[in-house]
Structure 1
Amino acid sequence: MKGAVEFFQAFLNLGATVILPVVIFLLGLLFGQKPGRAFRSGLTIGVAFVGIFLVVDLLTKNLGPAAQGMVERLGVDLNVIDVGWPATSSIAWANTAIAAWIIPIGLAVNVIMLITKTTKVMNVDIWNFWHFTFMGAIVYTMSGSIIQGLIAAVLFQIVALKVADWTAPIVSDFYGMPGVSSATGSTMSYAPGIFLVKLIQKTPGLKKLKADPETIQKHFGIFGDSMFIGLILGGIIGLLAGYDAGGVLNIGISMAAVMVLMPRMVKLLMEGLMPISESAREWLNKRFGEKTNDITIGLDAAVLLGDPSVIATALILTPLTILIAIILPGNAVLPFGDLATIPFIVAYIVGAARGNVVHSVIAGAIMIALSLWCATDIAPTFTKMAETANITLPEGAVQVSSIDQGGNIVNWIIWKIFSLWN
Structure 2
Amino acid sequence: MDALMNVVQSILDMGPSVMLPIIIFIVGLVFRVKPAKAVTAGITVGIGMIGINLVINLLTTSVGPAAQAMVERFGLNLTIIDAGWPAVAGATWAQPIAGLMIPIILVVNLIMLAFNWTKTLNIDIWNYWHVASVSATVYILTNNLFFGVIAGIIFTVFVQIMADLTAPAVQEYYGLEGVALSTGSTAGYAVLGIPIGWVISRIPGISKLDVNPETIQKRFGIFGEPMIMGIIIGAALAALGGYDISGILQMGMTMGGVMFLMPRMVKVLMEGLIPIQEGAQKLLQDRYGDREIFLGMDAALATGSPAALSTGLLMVPITLFLAVILPGNRVLPFGDLATIPFFVGMIVPSRKGNILHSVLTCTVVMVFALWMATDYAPVLTEMAQGVVAFPEGAAQITNFDTGGNFLKWIFLKVGQLIGGGI
Partner of residue 414 from structure 1, selected from 408, 411, 414: 411
Aligned to 1:194: 194
Q: Which whole-Å CA distance do the structure 2 matches of 1:107 and 1:69 have between them?
A: 42
Aligned to 1:279: 279
Amino acid at match of 1:322: L
Q: Which whole-Å CA distance do the structure 1 matches of 2:165 and 2:31 have between them?
A: 25
Q: Which whole-Å CA distance do the structure 1 matches of 2:261 and 2:387 have between them?
A: 38
Conserved 8 A contact 2:124-2:297: yes
By how many angstroms is 1:31 displaced?
1.4
Give the alignment's TM-score, normalised by structure 1: 0.97
Please state whether the residue corresponding to 1:133 is helix, strand or coil: helix
By how many angstroms is 1:409 displaced?
0.7
Q: Could you report, residue by residue, the CA deviation over 1:73-99 in whole angstroms, capped at 9, with x for unpaired residues?
A: 11111110000011110000000x211
1:395 matched to 2:392: yes
Q: Which whole-Å CA distance do the structure 1 matches of 2:227 and 2:376 have between them?
A: 39
By how many angstroms is 1:185 displaced?
0.8
Amino acid at match of 1:263: P
Please state whether the residue corresponding to 1:111 is helix, strand or coil: helix
Q: Flag structure 2 segments of 5+ consecutive residues without an equivalent.
A: none
Aligned to 2:334: 336
Amino acid at match of 1:101: L
By how many angstroms is 1:30 displaced?
1.5
By how many angstroms is 1:372 displaced?
0.9
Please state whether the residue corresponding to 2:295 is helix, strand or coil: strand
Conserved 8 A contact 2:185-2:402: yes
Please state whether the residue corresponding to 1:174 is helix, strand or coil: helix
Q: Which whole-Å CA distance do the structure 2 matches of 1:53 and 1:248 have between them?
A: 24
User: Where has structure 1 moved over 3 Å in runs of 4 or more?
Assistant: none
Q: Which whole-Å CA distance do the structure 1 matches of 2:214 and 2:152 have between them?
A: 41
Aligned to 1:69: 69
Q: Which whole-Å CA distance do the structure 1 matches of 2:363 and 2:3 have between them?
A: 43
Q: Matches of residues 97-116 of structure 1 in structure 2 within 5 Å? A: 97-116=96-115
Q: Matches of residues 17-416 of structure 1 in structure 2 within 5 Å? A: 17-95=17-95, 97-191=96-190, 192-286=192-286, 288-292=287-291, 294-387=292-385, 389-416=386-413
Using the TM superposition, name which of 137-146 and 159-168 deviates more: 137-146
Please state whether the residue corresponding to 1:297 is helix, strand or coil: strand
- The percentage of aligned residue pairs carrying the same residue is 47
Q: Flag structure 1 segments of 5+ consecutive residues without an equivalent.
A: none
By how many angstroms is 1:71 displaced?
0.3
Q: Which whole-Å CA distance do the structure 2 matches of 1:175 and 1:213 have between them?
A: 13
**What RMSD in Å do the two structures reach over aligned CA positions?**
1.0
By how many angstroms is 1:289 displaced?
3.1
By how many angstroms is 1:124 displaced?
0.4
Give the count of matched residue pairs.
418
Please state whether the residue corresponding to 1:347 is helix, strand or coil: coil
Q: Could you report, residue by residue, the CA deviation over 1:125-174 in whole angstroms, capped at 9, with x for unpaired residues?
A: 01100111111111111111111111111111111110000100111111
Aligned to 2:3: 3
By how many angstroms is 1:291 displaced?
1.7
